[in-house]
Amino acid sequence: MEPPEKTPLRKIPSVEALLQDPALRRWDGQVPRRLVADAVRAAVQETRAMLARACGAEMTAEAVRREILARTDDAVRRAVGPHYRRAVNATGIILHTGLGRAPLPGRAVRQIAEHLAGYSVLQADIASGRRDRRDARIEWMLQQLTGCEAATVVNNNAAATMIALATLAAGRETIVSRGQLVEIGGSFRLPDVMAASGARLVEVGTTNKTHPRDYEQAITSETAAILRVHPSNYRIVGFTAEVPLAELVGIAHARNLLLIDDVGAGALLDFSRFGFSDQPRLPDSIRAGADVVLSSADKLIGGPQGGLILGRAHLIERIRTHPLARILRVGKLALAALEATLSLFFDEATAMREVPALALLARPLADVAAQAERIAAAVRAAVHGAAVATIEGASEMGSGSMPAQPIPTRLVAVASEKATPDDLASRLRRHEPPVFARIQDGRVLVDPRTLLEGDEAVVVDALAAALHT
């Protein structure tokens, strides 16, 4: 039998000894001792479990001590540092939900920093000094950009759908094509939202085909509205048919019903220039005669999280005064960021240049490929013998926007004989700032398409450190 002092668990120092280590004493005066002690105990337990599984059985006592100190240091940093912080998106998913979806335009960040640090105008009228509507500025901008009569904003598009139905169709029927009963993100299911709003769902058509007669035959004296939902996170192709918006408007208005159009991602520009099809624009819905139009503010518009509600003035006023409006309203940070973002769309060229989500989408493949080659060359120079290559690949818009429509890109593919792809990806995420990549075919893939200014050097450093470890 191995002597007790030689067993792996005997290599673990006491908590008190670890707390006296200079590597942790540097936190004295900066972090409460209780937090450091808790982090040490957690690190000891994690290391004990690792050794008990025979992982690291060959580690020396000094290596075990360093492992615990590293885990402790990481835990302390996470405890006292900001969780909502900068990350590098090297996944190639432009609207990455886990990484905050659309990166904010510089103009939005500057407006928040320069004007919202102290008191700020939110819902006070400058001329009269009286209380005013907090959404008045956003309404005016959307009137200019889309031609709508009125508009308001809530905290996301699911909220926009909920309050519109609760206001305009509660207790009555709303007709929806069966092929448009979407589920997004595992938590937004249209039938559930409709039930919660008080509207009664009436499904028409089939999964792949819905005709005008399907809507017409479903209308009763209990019908309040027809709801069109753009299936933004999936596509049905092949033997399909759906009723154009203008025809749906005609069916609804001929019977004194409302037409509610949920366009999902909320484009203000024409995305066909990038080869993307079937992406409805907010101005098109307004021109087609939709009574209420719903969309996200943070997907194809590229602003903060929000839900836009546009349409006829008397309907928007009813929505604005519904009890849910106060529950779902947005705060000054989101309003300021949305104002700054929308202002960029008054000039299309400015929007394409300064809205990061649009600029990343529009990046020429040659530009992305050149950056991929620079990254690969820099990593090979930093790590002798590193298995780094560039390969063809595809980026995507993400967050349910423009599904099944890949964007050509050039990837940096990284592999190591000393670490699994999961280990390499984990090391990249533990870098500061964390770098998020993707894994495919046994390699870690870095997609330069989603790198922002200053990210390239971070990616090179993170890759070099991960391969050196």
pLDDT tens digits, one per residue of 261-317: 999 888 999 888 877 766 789 999 999 999 999 999 999 999 999 999 999 999 999
Which residues touch 208 (CB under 8 Å, ≥6 apart)?
A: 179, 236, 238, 239, 240, 241
Strands 173-177 and 223-229 come out as parallel
User: Which residue has tokens 């509205």?
Assistant: 225
pLDDT tens digits, 32-55: 989 999 999 999 998 888 887 765
3-state secondary structure of 421: helix
Decide: 186 and 215 in contact? Cβ < 8 Å.
no
Residue ranges in 102-181 assigned as alpha helix (H): 106-115, 136-146, 157-168
Q: CATH number for the 88-99+361-468 domain, one of 3.20.20.70, 1.10.1580.10, 3.40.47.10, 3.90.1150.110?
A: 3.90.1150.110
Mean pLDDT, rounded, of the chain: 91
The reported pLDDT for the residue numbered 187 is 64
Residue ranges per domain, the chain?
11-80, 88-99+361-468, 106-354
For residues 120-128, give the mean pLDDT. Answer: 93
Same fold, 88-99+361-468 and 106-354: no
Q: State phi, psi for 55 to the nearest 5 degrees.
A: -80, 130
Residue 398 confidence (pLDDT) = 85
| pLDDT > 90? residue 236 | no
Which helix H or strand E contains 174, and what residues bound it? strand 173-177
Tell me: the pLDDT tens digits for 318-342? 999 999 999 999 999 999 999 999 9
What confidence tier does 12 reach under pLDDT thresholds 50, 70, 90?
Answer: confident
CA distance 198 to 161: 12
- Confidence tier at 237 by pLDDT (50, 70, 90): low
Give me the pLDDT at residue 4, please.
43
- The candidate with the shortest Cα–Cα distance to 157, out of 401, 405, 404, 406, is 401
pLDDT score at 381: 95
Q: Tens digits of per-residue pLDDT, 428-453?
A: 998 999 999 999 999 999 999 999 99
pLDDT bracket for residue 405 (50, 70, 90): confident
Residue % of the chain over a pLDDT of 90: 70
- At residue 1, the pLDDT reads 41
CATH of domain 106-354: 3.40.640.10
Expressed in angstroms, the distance from the first to the final Cα of the chain is 34
